[in-house]
Amino acid sequence: MEKVWQEAQTNLKKALTEQTYNTWIHPMKFLGATNDTIVLEVPSSFFQKWVIDKYLSMIKEAISAVTSKEYQIEFHIGEEKPEPKQEPKAEKEHKGAKDKEKDKERDRDKDKDKDKKSDFVPNLNPKYTFESFVCGASNQFAYAASQAVANKPATNYNPLFIYGGVGLGKTHLVNAIGNQILARNSRAKICYYSSEKFMNEMINSLRYKKMEEFRNKFRKMDLLLIDDIQFMAGKEATQEEFFHTFNALYESHKQIVVTSDKFPKDIPGLEERLRSRFEWGLIADIQPPDIETKIAILKKKSDLHQVNLPDDVALFLATGANSNIRELEGMLIRLEAFASLTGNEITLSMAREVMKDIIVEKTRDITVEMIQKHVADHFRIKVSELKSDKRIKTLVVPRQIAIYICRELTKASYPEIGDKFGGKDHSTIIHSVKKIEKQMAADADFKGTVEDIKKRLFI
């Protein structure tokens, strides 16, 4: 069975990046096997939890591909046996009292240094860099602002507030800022925290009466990166503490970067004094990527994974996925794993087969009536007004948007869509679709509105 594990590792190596394989797959050792279970040794409990969360299903698939049988995986944590540092006995005996005291002081200083370093663990993801970020029209402003902050922190854009939908690259950019500053100054005190982690650590500090340590930790930072600030909404004690932390850093000319899924004024339950401080600096938004940017992301990721991704497959994935980049990457990983485990080249027919449940599921339940209701709700009008022949602008634009989305997300023909909109002829429907396409190409805000309505149909 050990050979089975070795062969499974070989297949996994092809499916994963070299760094991911060397970090999470290679360190695992085969310990033994029963009729239906394979036992692997892992270095630590953290390692075990991470592998179970991220790679367990892939490991099972890799073993199943070799054996044609499904095995359960059992993990054992290997014992760490650090060798104690010992001084030679003769040297100990001949040391004077002063030398021994110096050694003790030196050891105490080392311990203090270790404590200081542990306080300032950046928590940055090293794979999130500016080089690995795909810049397009939808994220160009946020990308340029992030680079400016990384090059000259706490100079012009402080704080930097980045907002946008889920999975559009906000976390990537804040980590890229931290990684670039850390690369230039290894002694920089940088801290990346989610707002939830900030809150939980504050609660624990209150519980164990360590608030002074908590405050000192964050208020001595050179760069504070807080992700998903919207989760502080409604949590008064957390907002109070963050408010004072913000003030202390700002007054010390230290850089603050915050992300959210909404514009500051649109976050319900957020204190006005925090809103106003977020608006002191620069606010940059990230919009959902267009098809071209999604294709560029897929191509870059496939190059990093050293996998050949044909253009027609990239287009298929980009048009089939929502605007969430994480979802797009997940599709690519699934496709790469399937190709690696089966030993086949990636083709359009393979992609359609592997993704049939994911991509078809998105559009199968969308109806013209559902689209009409969502558009009417968005513009606060009645569905009957959407179907009417009234030519006032407040009705014409929503009607054309609804018609365009119907054409995009349903299989209804032009005449069928016309029937659903009060019996309009197909030439009117074609005109509406072309009108919206042209306006989306010319107006980024208008395009964002249409994409937002489309996105809400899948929630």
pLDDT, tens digit, 9 for 90 and up, residues 22-81: 888 989 999 888 888 899 998 887 788 888 888 888 898 888 888 888 888 998 887 643
Per-residue pLDDT at 103: 57
For residue 93, the number of C-alpha atoms closer than 13 Å in the C-beta half-sphere is: 3
The amino acid at 46? F
For residue 24, the number of C-alpha atoms closer than 13 Å in the C-beta half-sphere is: 21
The answer to pTM > 0.85 is no
The residue behind tokens 């964002």 is 448
Whole-angstrom distance, CA of residue 228 vs CA of residue 124: 15
Least confident range from 121-130, 320-329, 360-369, 397-406: namely 360-369
Question: Would you tell me which CATH number, out of the four given (1.10.8.60, 3.90.1300.10, 1.10.10.10, 1.10.3720.10), belongs to the domain 289-359?
Answer: 1.10.8.60
Cα dihedral 355/358/360/366 (nearest 10): -160
The per-type count for the chain, helices as H runs and strands as E runs, is 23, 8
Across 173-184, average pLDDT:
94
Among 271, 258, 196, 270, CA closest to 233: 270
Q: What is the pLDDT of residues 331-370, one digit of tens each?
A: 898 898 888 888 889 998 899 888 887 775 444 468 899 9
Report the CATH fold assignment for 1-77. GMP Synthetase; Chain A, domain 3 (3.30.300)
User: Looking at the chain, how many residues does it have?
Assistant: 459
Question: Would you tell me which CATH number, out of the four given (3.40.50.2300, 3.40.50.300, 3.40.50.1370, 3.40.50.1100), belongs to the domain 128-283?
Answer: 3.40.50.300
Cα–Cα–Cα angle for 448, 156, 258, rounded to 5 degrees? 50
Whole-angstrom distance, CA of residue 8 vs CA of residue 340: 11
Whole-angstrom distance, CA of residue 337 vs CA of residue 346: 10
Task: Report whether 457 contacts 370 (CB < 8 A).
Answer: yes
The domain locations on the chain are 1-77, 128-283, 289-359, 366-454
Class of domain 366-454: mainly alpha
Both tokens of residue 42? 């892992």
Whole-angstrom distance, CA of residue 238 vs CA of residue 231: 10
Task: Report whether 372 contacts 420 (CB < 8 A).
Answer: yes
Both tokens of residue 116? 């200081």
Among 159, 142, 156, CA closest to 225: 159
Dmax over CA atoms of the chain, in Å, equals 103
| CA 457 distance to own-chain centroid | 22
Whole-angstrom distance, CA of residue 301 vs CA of residue 296: 9
Across 184-193, average pLDDT:
91
Mean pLDDT of the chain: 85
